[in-house]
Amino acid sequence: METAFSALVGIFFAVAVYLLLSKHIIRILLGAAILGNAVNLLIFTAGRLTREVPPIIPDTLPIPAEATANPLPQALVLTAIVISFSFFAFLLVLTYRAYQELGTDDTEEMRVAEPVDEEAPPMRY
């Protein structure tokens, strides 16, 4: 089971990198979202996927009597989901505003600092 999830994490990372290298800003946003999901799945897979008992220690024992689930990866993934959603929402608003101002989602055409019609600045002084 963990081997399949590891392969899925690799596929997610490959797709995310492919989308992040695109020229269109919407694809870049989707790549960032998929990258966040890949990292979450990686953390979750690294925490082992076995079914264990909850990490509750009875008052009569100093340590758990049997193997318990590790709650740390689950807590990290839960926190990462909230952070990645807020990051994605911020990027989505930023992209929409840039599209309103510039009228395009192509990153090559978004280069306002380097207008197409003007000649290049001098290379030497």
Structural domains present in the chain = 2-49+69-102 (1.10.287)
Residue whose token pair is 């079914």: 51
Q: Can you give the pLDDT at residue 94?
A: 93
What is the rounded end-to-end Cα distance, in angstroms, of the chain?
64
- pLDDT of residue 24 exceeding 70: yes
d(Cα 58, Cα 60) in Å, to the nearest integer? 5
Averaged pLDDT for residues 38-55 = 80
d(Cα 37, Cα 84) in Å, to the nearest integer? 8
The string of pLDDT tens digits covering residues 63-106 is 887 777 777 888 888 999 999 999 999 999 999 998 998 888 88
Full-model pTM: 0.75
Q: Can you give the pLDDT at residue 115?
A: 67
Averaged pLDDT for residues 39-56 = 79
